[in-house]
C-alpha cells in the first residue's frame, strides 16, 4: 500500500501506482468545462518528460508561451501542482496528464525528477508537522453550556413555528400564492436566528412549492405537516428511542462530529459497490452524494464530500467500482450516512444483482416508516427498460398511485401500493401490518399527539388541516381525509390524478405536467417508477434498446433520478 487508496505494483525498475479509470479521473474535474478542456490536453504530442512512480505522475505540457507548464499529481491525496496561471484545482493540464496516464501513455519509472521529489517532500513535511501539532485543550464545561443554550433557542423557535403553522393552516391557503413564499422565507429567517437550521431549510423548500402546479396546496401542506411533526418532537427527545432521537437531532440541524462517528459509530465491513454519485452546488459549496451498497450485506450507505467552488471533490469512490473496506455509520433510526474508517483501492465491478421495483419500494417503505423525513433513497433495479407513459389523468399505462404517491405494483391497490401481502394485523392505513406502525394515510409517522388518520397531531377544522402527505381533496370545507378543502371529485377513485409527492404536477421549470407524457422505468413484472421531470431518456433508450439493463438510481419525491447503468459494454454514469 502506497498512500491512501493507492496500491503499488512491481515492475523491473521498482514499484509504480495502479492506474485509475477514465471515470475516476474525470470525477476530479471541478466542472464540466474543465473536464472537456482536460480531454483536449490528453494528447501525447503536447507532453514531454512525462513519467509515473508509486507516488506521483508528472510531465511538462507545451502551452501558448515559450516555456512548458510543469504539472504533477500526488496520487495519495490526490494533490496537484502546475505552473500555469489557472485558479482551478485540478487545472486542465493536470487532468490531461492523468487521462494520458490512465490510458497507459505515460512511461512508468521509480526515478522522480528533482522538482517533483522536492514538492512531494515538502508536502510530507507539512503533513508531519500538522500531525504533531497538539490539539487545543477542550473546555468541556463551556461546550456543554453552549449546547444547552442552543437547545433552548431551538426549542423556543420550534414552539414559535408550531404556533405559526397552526394559525396559518387555520387561515387556509386562499391567496397564499401572492406573498406566501415571502412569508415562509421570513419565518425561515427567524428559525436561522433560533439556530434551527433544519426547520429553516424545510420552510425554504415549502416556499419553493407555492404556486407551482395545479396541486401546489397539497404539496405545500405535506411539507408543512412534516415540519409540524419535527418541531413538536423537540421537547420529547428524552422520551423517544435513542436512534429516533438522533434522527430528529440531525433533521433539526445538530451535527455529529467525524471523530464521534469513528469512535462510536456502528462498523460494517463489506465489499462496497459504488452505485452512483450526484454533484450539486448550493450556497457556494459543492456537495457530492455517493451511494454505496454492501455486496454481501445488501446494506445501503451514503458518503458525503464537500468542496468550495473550483476545488476537486473526493474521487476515491468511482461509480461502478467495488471498494473493500469498513464503514462507520452515523447514528439514526435509518443509519444511512457513513464514512470510511478504512478502505483499499477500488476495483471494477461486474454487473450487480438488482431488485425488482416491488422489492425496491418495499425497502423504501420500511425506511420511510422509521424516518418520515427521508427525502432520498438509493435503488438498484434489475432488468429495467425505459417506457413512455401518459401524464397524470390521461391513462393508466403506469399504474395509479396509492396514498403515498408510490406507483402501485401489479398486485397492489390504492390502499396497498406495494402489493405486499397484508399481515393479520394490517388494515387500509397500514397494509403491511406491524412493519409500518403508527403511520397516517401517507405512510408518514404520526406526530406527538397524532394518530393514524391525523399523523401531525394538528386539530382538524372547517378550513382543512395538515394530516400527512397531501391526501386527496374532496370538498370546500376540508376534514381529516381532505386537508386542503379543495374540490377534486371522488376521494377514493385510485385512477384519478396522483395526490402524493412522488408524481409531480410541475416540471423542473414549474410548468404543469397535467395531460403531458413522461418517462418511467419498467421491470420484467410490469411494475414501473416515473423518472424525474426533465430527465433526458435518450441515453437510457440507447443503452437499453436491445435488452433490459441494471440501473442504479436515487428515488426522491419528484421521481427516479438515474445515476449509473450496467450493460454488456461496461458501466455508464448517467448523472
Q: How far apart are CA 17 and CA 522, in angstroms?
A: 42
β-pairing, 14-17 with 8-11? antiparallel
pLDDT confidence of residue 389: 77
Query: Residue 273 has which C-alpha cell?
Result: 459497490
Query: In this predicted model, which residue has the larger pLDDT, 429 or 201?
Result: 201
Using CB atoms within 10 Å of the CB of residue 137, give its burial: 0 to 12 exposed, 13 to 18 middle, 19+ buried.
exposed
**What percent of the chain is modeled with pLDDT above 90?**
51
Report whether pLDDT(511) > 70: no
Q: How far apart are CA 556 and CA 540, in angstroms?
A: 19
What are the pLDDT digits (tens) for 459-507? Answer: 343 333 333 333 333 333 344 333 333 333 333 333 333 333 333 344 3
**pTM here?**
0.70
For the chain, the structural domain boundaries read 8-132, 147-265+461-493, 266-329, 351-416+499-575
Query: Residue 332 has which C-alpha cell?
Result: 439514526
Query: Residue 300 has which C-alpha cell?
Result: 445501503
What are the pLDDT digits (tens) for 194-237? Answer: 999 999 999 999 999 999 888 899 999 999 999 999 999 999 99
Cis peptide before 78 (omega within 30 of 0): yes
H helices of 13-172, in order, are: 22-26, 32-41, 92-102, 114-132, 140-171
With b meaning 16 or more CB within 10 Å and e meaning fewer, what string describes 38-73?
Answer: bbebbeeebbeebbbbbbbbbbbbebeeeebbbbbb
Residues 2 and 17 sit within 8 Å (Cβ to Cβ): yes
What are the pLDDT digits (tens) for 26-44? Answer: 888 887 788 899 999 999 9
DSSP string for residues in 120-163 = HHHHHHHHHHHHHSPPPPP-HHHHHHHHHHHHHHHHHHHHHHHH
Residues 361 and 418 sit within 8 Å (Cβ to Cβ): yes
Q: What is the mean pLDDT of residues 277-296?
A: 90
Amino acid at each position: 500500500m502506497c498512500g491512501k487508496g493507492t496500491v503499488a505494483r512491481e515492475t523491473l525498475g521498482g514499484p509504480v501506482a495502479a492506474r485509475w479509470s477514465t471515470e475516476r479521473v474525470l470525477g476530479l474535474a471541478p466542472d464540466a468545462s474543465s473536464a472537456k478542456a482536460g480531454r483536449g490536453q490528453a494528447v501525447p504530442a503536447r507532453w514531454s518528460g512525462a513519467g509515473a512512480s508509486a507516488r506521483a505522475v508528472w510531465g511538462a505540457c507545451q502551452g501558448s508561451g515559450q516555456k512548458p507548464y510543469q504539472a504533477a499529481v500526488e496520487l495519495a491525496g490526490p494533490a496537484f501542482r502546475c505552473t500555469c496561471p489557472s485558479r482551478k484545482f485540478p487545472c486542465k493540464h493536470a487532468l490531461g496528464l492523468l487521462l494520458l496516464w490512465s490510458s497507459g501513455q505515460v512511461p512508468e519509472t521509480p526515478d522522480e525528477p528533482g522538482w517533483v521529489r522536492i514538492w512531494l517532500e515538502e508536502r510530507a513535511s507539512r503533513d508531519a508537522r500538522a500531525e504533531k501539532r497538539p490539539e487545543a485543550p477542550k473546555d468541556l464545561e463551556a461546550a456543554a453550556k453552549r449546547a444547552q443554550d442552543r437547545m433552548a433557542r431551538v426549542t423556543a423557535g420550534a414552539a414559535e413555528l408550531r404556533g405559526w403553522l397552526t394559525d396559518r393552516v387555520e387561515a387556509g391557503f386562499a391567496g397564499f400564492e401572492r406573498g406566501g413564499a415571502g412569508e415562509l422565507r421570513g419565518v425561515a429567517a427567524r428559525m436561522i436566528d433560533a439556530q434551527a437550521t433544519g426547520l429553516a431549510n424545510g420552510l425554504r423548500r415549502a416556499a419553493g412549492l407555492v404556486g407551482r402546479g395545479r396541486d401546489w396546496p397539497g404539496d405545500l401542506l405535506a411539507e408543512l405537516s412534516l415540519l409540524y411533526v419535527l418541531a413538536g418532537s423537540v421537547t420529547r427527545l428524552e422520551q423517544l428511542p435513542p436512534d429516533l432521537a438522533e434522527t430528529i437531532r440531525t433533521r433539526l440541524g445538530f451535527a455529529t462530529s467525524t471523530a464521534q462517528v469513528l469512535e462510536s459509530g456502528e462498523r460494517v465491513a463489506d465489499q462496497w459497490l459504488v452505485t452512483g454519485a450526484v454533484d450539486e452546488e448550493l450556497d457556494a459549496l459543492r456537495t457530492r452524494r455517493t451511494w454505496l451498497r454492501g455486496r454481501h450485506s445488501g446494506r445501503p450507505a451514503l458518503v458525503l464530500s464537500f468542496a468550495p467552488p473550483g476545488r476537486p471533490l473526493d474521487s476515491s469512490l468511482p461509480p461502478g467500482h467495488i471498494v473493500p473496506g469498513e464503514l462507520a455509520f452515523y447514528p439514526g433510526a435509518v443509519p444511512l450516512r457513513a464514512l470510511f474508517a478504512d478502505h483499499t483501492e477500488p476495483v471494477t465491478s461486474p454487473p450487480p444483482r438488482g431488485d425488482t421495483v416491488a422489492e425496491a419500494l418495499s425497502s423504501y417503505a420500511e425506511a420511510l416508516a422509521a424516518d418520515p423525513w427521508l427525502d432520498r433513497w438509493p435503488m438498484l433495479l434489475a432488468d429495467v427498460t425505459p417506457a413512455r407513459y401518459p401524464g397524470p389523468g390521461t391513462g393508466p399505462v403506469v399504474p395509479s398511485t396509492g396514498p403515498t404517491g408510490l406507483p402501485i405494483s401489479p398486485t397492489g391497490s390504492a390502499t396497498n401500493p406495494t402489493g405486499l401481502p397484508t399481515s393479520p394485523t394490517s388494515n387500509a392505513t397500514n397494509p403491511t401490518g406491524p412493519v409500518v406502525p403508527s403511520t397516517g394515510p401517507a405512510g408518514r409517522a404520526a406526530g406527538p399527539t397524532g394518530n393514524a388518520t391525523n399523523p401531525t397531531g394538528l386539530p382538524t377544522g372547517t378550513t382543512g388541516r395538515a394530516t400527512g402527505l397531501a391526501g386527496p381533496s374532496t370538498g370546500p370545507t376540508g376534514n381529516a381525509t381532505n386537508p386542503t378543502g379543495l374540490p377534486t371529485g371522488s376521494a377514493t377513485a385510485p385512477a384519478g390524478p396522483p395526490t402524493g409527492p412522488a408524481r409531480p404536477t410541475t416540471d423542473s421549470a414549474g410548468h404543469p405536467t397535467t395531460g403531458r407524457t413522461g418517462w418511467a422505468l419498467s421491470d420484467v413484472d410490469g411494475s414501473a417508477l416515473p423518472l424525474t421531470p426533465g430527465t433526458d431518456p435518450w441515453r437510457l433508450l440507447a443503452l437499453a434498446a436491445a435488452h433490459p439493463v441494471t440501473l442504479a438510481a436515487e428515488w426522491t419525491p419528484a421521481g427516479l433520478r438515474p445515476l449509473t447503468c450496467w450493460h454488456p459494454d461496461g458501466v455508464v454514469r448517467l448523472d
